[in-house]
Amino acid sequence: MAYPTETLEDLKMSVAFIKWQEDFYASRGKSADSVNKRMFTVTWYPGTKMLGHPKVRRTLSDVFGISFNPATDEPVCDKKFHQYLLELDDATKLLHNPKTGEPLNFSDMPMDTFLKAREYVDSGQIYKILEMEE
């Protein structure tokens, strides 16, 4: 969740797919519990195409002070970039804005919508996302 341009409707589609998988597995005699219902919040890792999105570069610049080479849009490998790299862990780690404490949200969802959805994910209640409205 929280991919650039993702809306609540897009997130609902992902959750609906997970629900469909559970139903499909159950119809084949498989345990619905074998479907992975964990969702992670997207994090930019160096070398990934996600950096091609202007919102990602803008957020990384605003939050972490990372600067980018205007000719290539690649990050400048300086102290701030290095500090960001130290923040990375694995794909399940949720990065936070050190100034506000809010999690990074590259999506087009308003922060309050994103936080509510993230709360449902963290508490194992992802299907409540299907009932959400902006």
Q: What is the pLDDT of residue 118?
A: 94
Give the C-alpha distances (Å, rounded to integers) separating 19 from 1, 79, 100: 16, 44, 34
| pLDDT tens per residue across span 116-132 | 999 999 999 999 999 99
HSE, CB side, 13 Å, CA atoms: give it for residue 27. Answer: 6
Q: How far is the first Cα of the chain from the last one, in angstroms, to the nearest whole number? A: 16
| pLDDT tens per residue across span 58-102 | 999 999 999 999 998 899 999 999 999 998 987 778 899 988 998
Burial 100-117 (b: 16+ CB within 10 A, else e): eeeebbbbbbeeebbebb
R_g of the chain computed on alpha carbons: 17
Burial of 41 (0-12, 13-18, 19+ CB in 10 A): buried
